[in-house]
């Protein structure tokens, strides 16, 4: 993951969730660049909501709803 492409608000939350002293503390950036997008959202949720598992719930709902908005073919 290119750390420069991670939105600042997401990056600072992930840093702090991992134990950074403040939002500009880069000591965990080598670890962050190896996280998947889903893991980044998990750490973001962990920081803001107190539990990383909320990310899975939100991502699952989003993926389900994206599939649901695609019209299904009617069988004649």
pTM exceeds 0.85 for this model: no
**Of 2-6, 52-56, 67-71, where does mean pLDDT reach its minimum?**
67-71
Give me the residue spans of the domains in the chain: 3-68
State the average pLDDT over residues 30-42. 97
Instruction: Give whole-number Cα distances, 5 to 9, 33, 72, 75, in Å.
Output: 12, 10, 35, 44
CA 11, CA 4: separation in Å to the nearest integer? 9
Alpha carbon distance 13, 19 (integer Å): 10
Residue 28 has pLDDT above 90, yes or no: yes
Q: How confident is the model at residue 70 (pLDDT cuts 50, 70, 90)?
A: confident
Return the structure tokens found at 38. 């889903």
Q: Whole-number mean pLDDT of the chain?
A: 94
């Amino acid at each position: 993951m290119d750390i420069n492409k991670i939105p600042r608000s997401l990056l600072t939350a992930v840093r702090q969730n991992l134990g950074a002293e403040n939002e500009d503390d880069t000591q965990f950036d080598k670890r962050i660049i190896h996280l998947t997008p889903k893991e980044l959202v998990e750490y973001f949720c962990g920081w803001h909501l107190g539990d990383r598992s909320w990310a899975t719930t939100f991502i699952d709902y989003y993926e389900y709803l994206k599939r649901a908005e695609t019209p299904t073919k009617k069988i004649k």
